[in-house]
Chain A
Amino acid sequence: MGSREDILSKIAKAKPVGNELPEDLSFISITENLLETFVLAAQNNGSQVTLVEDTAEILAYISENVAPEKRIIFNIKEFRGENAEVTDQEMNDPHTLEDVEIAVIEGSIGVAENAAVWITENQMKYRALPFITQHLFVILEANKIVPLLHDAYKIIPVEDGFSCFISGPSKTADIEQSLVIGAHGARSHHLFLVK
């Protein structure tokens, strides 16, 4: 405990006085066309976006576009029993997710200015899932889009565990600044916006 006390008492002696927190955290907002702004931002981030009427369309999309032998994990209530794995059972070792091809999960809030979607641990089921999967499908209700990050933080509850804003596919530009999609996380990011 020596260092802790040392550090804290050094800070107490050195810190400046005053400097209140700013009270006004309101910023100029996007007011119109939240959905369009969100879609544009998502596309700029390298995501694919599909507008759907209901979740059944997503199932149809998957059965049309994904080979049946691929491992898919859904964590969506309506889909239980429909297809592939049911994720109710506990899984102690995230390493067994290694061969997941597609993860389909729900997001709770989308942010129009940057297309980031808030996803909680509950929605991921396994923390490693959205990252280790080759392709990530995120379902978001279109009426859950807010203008700015500030608006999102106002309404998202502080969850236990882990949560994440995910705004697109994993990417890197570390080699001569050329953008490459698919670094360590999901190689593609598909957003299904439910009207």
Chain B
Amino acid sequence: MKSHASLAEQFNRDENRVDWHNETLWFVREKRDRQSHQVSDWEKLREVASKIKLNVLSNLDIYLMEFEKNALTNGIKVHWAKDAEEHNKIVLSILQDHQVKFMVKSKSMLTEECHLNDYLEKNGVEVTDTDLGERIVQLAKETPSHIVLPCIHKKKEEIGEIFHQYLNTPKGLSDPQMLTEIARQDLRKKFLQSQAALTGINFAVAETGEFVVCTNEGNADMGAHLAKVHIACMGLEKIIPKREHLGVFLRLLARSGTGQPITTYSSHFRKPRAGQEMHIVIVDNGRSEQLSKEKFRNSLKCIRCGACFNTCPVYRRSGGHSYHTAVAGPIGSILNPIRNIAAYKDLPFASTLCGSCTHVCPVQIDLHQQLYELRQEIIASGMGEPVKSFSMKILARSLSHVKKYEKLRRTMKFGYRYAPFLLKNNANPWYKHREMPEMPKESFKEWYQKNIGDGK
């Protein structure tokens, strides 16, 4: 059984890497701060975005139908998939209809969630990820460790090595400019030879039946405008009511995620070009179920900007792969356990509950509250970590009885003085990554009795 704690422990073995990872992400977080401070009514913007998304949740079926109707009128084919498996089948069948052997893909966390690449490869379709970061992890046979910065865990020397191994470049390259140029040349060939392109969707507009895809590299556009078939896949929560709402979300998305005022390209697709076929796959995969859970439905507002990752002290110091899931970080620690609590019961504990995620979230998701709620549910259902649950129980019992507490305190004090190794060893989970506090010479009760209680 994978757990965040043990995977993070592996990541933590290389202290220099942890520091570097931490600092790189904090740098992005600081860029986000600078950008958000430049918008004088930033908080209003967040509030409006949150309200729009809440309205979407209240009318989700209606907006989806409106979107479908308009997209169909525009000549786009619309598909519905209840789960990952159906999503993958739909994509494959479109590709088979056109005898596509080769597809380029622009970043889509939904397809990661559905494990589409594996499925297509098994069925004879070669998939090339075209976002530079995704391409790098694809070559390395890894998964993205961050939803916006997929290879943030890799150093440039390692990327040089990957390119040397798979793209036949000379050994020892590490200049980002040079590495990017190599990838550009290599991927250009792929763009030109691919018969189909798959993209994600950042926002789907019910009112107009169009969808918006945001990238900095232009890879979604390179793929979609050259290929004969364009498939766009969206989680059903990506819908927004009206085009005017795009103004709100586009101002928030890149500022929150990477600290830019807007992405380089915000592409609005409304109709296939002449001779092209355009498909949209609307995917549920647990989302409608999530909607029914009142305490957690708020997390469906997420626009996948990545800000909560960059600010999270646990994410920054444990790396994305320790979350063993496609969407890591604070939001992933909510989305995954809601769908499958047994497999992801460790994730809500991968947080300090410091609230920093809630503070930066552009759509005002109460992330730390939900993480706290999830912990309650996990402990209540008896799925908590056995060692912690056991010691918590003992502690709770002692703390709620004056006599037991006094006894525990005296034992601890005695133990501290004569046998500190009993507490300061690796069997004590609290000691693993921290110093134990020093015991005060005198307890408050003793002090009180001496100074005030006696004086009465």
Mark A residues whose CB is within 8 Å of B: 3-4, 6-8, 10-22, 24-25, 27-28, 41, 44-45, 92, 94-95, 98, 111, 113-116, 126-128, 130-132, 148-150, 152-154, 158-178, 180, 182-186
CA distance A92 to B270 in the complex (A): 19
Indicate if B161 sits at the interface (CB-CB under 8 A). Answer: no
Contact A150 B236 (CB under 8 A): no
Q: Which of chain A's residues have a CB closer than 8 A to the CB of B152?
A: 177
Please give the number of chain B residues whose Cβ is less than 8 angstroms from any Cβ of chain A in the complex. 93
Take A45-B264, A148-B247, A174-B151 as given contacts and tell me if A158 and B179 are in contact as well, using a CB distance cutoff of 8 Å.
no
Contact A14 B291 (CB under 8 A): yes
Take A94-B225, A149-B250, A173-B258 as given contacts and tell me if A17 and B270 are in contact as well, using a CB distance cutoff of 8 Å.
no
Partner of B264, one of A41, A126, A148, A185: A185
CA distance A47 to B120 in the complex (A): 39
Q: Which of chain A's residues have a CB closer than 8 A to the CB of B44?
A: 27
Indicate if B303 sits at the interface (CB-CB under 8 A). Answer: no
Further contacts, 6 of them, CB under 8 A, given A25-B48, A127-B221: A4-B80, A25-B244, A27-B45, A131-B222, A149-B247, A161-B273
In the assembled complex, how far is the CB of residue A83 from the closest CB belonging to chain B, in whole angstroms?
24
In the assembled complex, how far is the CB of residue A148 from the closest CB belonging to chain B, in whole angstroms?
7
Indicate if B261 sits at the interface (CB-CB under 8 A). Answer: yes
Contact A41 B226 (CB under 8 A): no
Contact A132 B55 (CB under 8 A): no
Partner of A21, one of B51, B60, B184: B51
Indicate if B349 sits at the interface (CB-CB under 8 A). Answer: no
In the assembled complex, how far is the CB of residue A5 from the closest CB belonging to chain B, in whole angstroms?
9
Take A19-B51, A183-B217 as given contacts and tell me if A175 and B271 are in contact as well, using a CB distance cutoff of 8 Å.
no
CA distance A130 to B179 in the complex (A): 23
Indicate if B352 sits at the interface (CB-CB under 8 A). Answer: no
Indicate if B150 sits at the interface (CB-CB under 8 A). Answer: yes
Q: Which of chain A's residues have a CB closer than 8 A to the CB of B7?
A: none
Contact A172 B132 (CB under 8 A): yes
List CB contacts (< 8 Å) of B137-155 with chain A: 149-152, 155
In the assembled complex, how far is the CB of residue A183 from the closest CB belonging to chain B, in whole angstroms?
4
CA distance A164 to B271 in the complex (A): 13
Contact B52 A185 (CB under 8 A): no
Q: Which of chain B's residues have a CB closer than 8 A to the CB of A12?
A: 61
Q: Which of chain A's residues have a CB closer than 8 A to the CB of B292?
A: 10, 13-14
Q: Which of chain B's residues have a CB closer than 8 A to the CB of A15?
A: 57-61, 291
Contact B24 A177 (CB under 8 A): yes
- A-B pair count, CB < 8 Å, reads 243
Q: Which of chain B's residues have a CB closer than 8 A to the CB of A148?
A: 247, 251
Contact B268 A163 (CB under 8 A): yes
- Chain A residue nearest to B28 (CB atoms) is A177
Q: Which of chain B's residues have a CB closer than 8 A to the CB of A153?
A: 243-244, 246-247
5 residue pairs A–B, Cβ–Cβ below 8 Å:
A11-B64, A95-B226, A162-B269, A171-B216, A172-B216
Contact B81 A3 (CB under 8 A): yes
Q: Which of chain A's residues have a CB closer than 8 A to the CB of B156?
A: 175-176, 178
Indicate if B131 sits at the interface (CB-CB under 8 A). Answer: yes
Partner of B291, one of A11, A27, A98, A180: A11
In the assembled complex, how far is the CB of residue A43 from the closest CB belonging to chain B, in whole angstroms?
12
Closest A-B pairs by Cβ, 7 of them: A185-B218, A14-B292, A174-B133, A183-B217, A114-B261, A128-B225, A150-B247
List CB contacts (< 8 Å) of B231-258 with chain A: 236, 241, 243-248, 250-251, 258
Q: Which of chain A's residues have a CB closer than 8 A to the CB of B24?
A: 176-177
Indicate if B351 sits at the interface (CB-CB under 8 A). Answer: no
List CB contacts (< 8 Å) of B105-145 with chain A: 130-133, 136
CA distance A163 to B269 in the complex (A): 7
In the assembled complex, how far is the CB of residue B92 from the closest CB belonging to chain A, in whole angstroms?
16
Q: Which of chain B's residues have a CB closer than 8 A to the CB of A150?
A: 244, 247-248
Contact A175 B180 (CB under 8 A): yes
Indicate if B188 sits at the interface (CB-CB under 8 A). Answer: yes
Contact B266 A10 (CB under 8 A): no
- Chain B residue nearest to A97 (CB atoms) is B226
Take A172-B132, A183-B180 as given contacts and tell me if A161 and B266 are in contact as well, using a CB distance cutoff of 8 Å.
no
Contact A132 B222 (CB under 8 A): yes
Take A19-B57, A150-B247 as given contacts and tell me if A175 and B81 are in contact as well, using a CB distance cutoff of 8 Å.
no
Contact B264 A171 (CB under 8 A): yes
Q: B352-369 vs A: 1/0 string, CB under 8 Å?
A: 000000000000000000
- Chain B residue nearest to A12 (CB atoms) is B61
Contact B151 A166 (CB under 8 A): no
Q: Which of chain A's residues have a CB closer than 8 A to the CB of B273?
A: 127, 161-162
CA distance A85 to B238 in the complex (A): 41
Contact A131 B48 (CB under 8 A): no
Q: Which of chain A's residues have a CB closer than 8 A to the CB of B294?
A: 16
List CB contacts (< 8 Å) of B156-198 with chain A: 156, 159, 176-177, 179-181, 183-184, 187-188, 191-192
Take A3-B81, A177-B24 as given contacts and tell me if A183 and B289 are in contact as well, using a CB distance cutoff of 8 Å.
no
- Chain B residue nearest to A183 (CB atoms) is B217
Partner of B225, one of A3, A92, A127, A169: A127
CA distance A172 to B149 in the complex (A): 10
Contact B217 A172 (CB under 8 A): yes
